Amino acid sequence: MTLKNKVAIVTGGSSGIGEAIANKLIELGAKVIIFDIKEPKSSLFNYYKVDITKDNEIKKAVKLIDKVDILVNNAGIYFEKYIEETTDEDIDKMVDINIKGTFKVTRNLINKLKESQGCIINIASCLGLVPELTSPLYCTTKAGIVMFTKCLAQEYADLGVRVNCVLPGPILTELLEDSFKNEEQKIKCAKRIPVRRIGKPSEVANVVAFLSSDETSYVTGGIYTVDGGVSTSSIYSK
Which CATH number is 96's domain given? 3.40.50.720
Q: Is residue 143 part of a domain?
A: yes
Q: Is residue 196 part of a domain?
A: no
Residue type, 188: K
Catalytic-labelled residue, pool 47, 78, 138, 156: 138
Q: Is residue 27 part of a domain?
A: yes
Q: Is residue 178 part of a domain?
A: no
Asked whether the predicted pLDDT for residue 24 surpasses 80, the reply is: yes
Query: Is 236 an active-site residue?
Result: no
Question: Residue range 5-17: average pLDDT?
Answer: 97
Asked whether the predicted pLDDT for residue 238 surpasses 60, the reply is: no
Query: Beta strand 7-11 with 31-36: parallel, antiparallel or unpaired?
Result: parallel
Express each pLDDT in 181-231 by its tens digit.
788 888 888 888 999 999 999 999 999 999 999 999 999 999 999 999 999
**16 and 41 Cβ atoms separated by less than 8 Å:** no
Q: Is residue 182 part of a domain?
A: no
* pLDDT at residue 236 in the model: 52
Give the global pTM.
0.95
* Angstrom distance (rounded) from CA 206 to CA 187: 25
Express each pLDDT in 122-170 by its tens digit.
999 999 999 989 999 999 999 999 999 999 999 999 999 999 999 999 9
Q: Is residue 191 part of a domain?
A: no
Q: Which domain holds residue 165?
A: 7-170+201-226
* pLDDT at residue 175 in the model: 76
Question: Residue range 7-34: average pLDDT?
Answer: 97
Asked whether the predicted pLDDT for residue 234 surpasses 80, the reply is: no
* pLDDT at residue 181 in the model: 76
**77 and 98 Cβ atoms separated by less than 8 Å:** yes
* pLDDT at residue 145 in the model: 98
* pLDDT at residue 215 in the model: 97
Structural domains in the chain (count): 1
Radius of gyration of the chain (CA): 17
* Angstrom distance (rounded) from CA 177 to CA 166: 21
User: Is the torsion defined by CA of 94, 64, 31, 157 positive or negative?
Assistant: positive
Q: Is residue 236 part of a domain?
A: no
Express each pLDDT in 73-112 by its tens digit.
999 999 999 999 999 999 999 999 999 999 999 999 999 9
* pLDDT at residue 186 in the model: 87
Query: Beta strand 119-123 with 162-168: parallel, antiparallel or unpaired?
Result: parallel
* pLDDT at residue 185 in the model: 85
* pLDDT at residue 171 in the model: 95
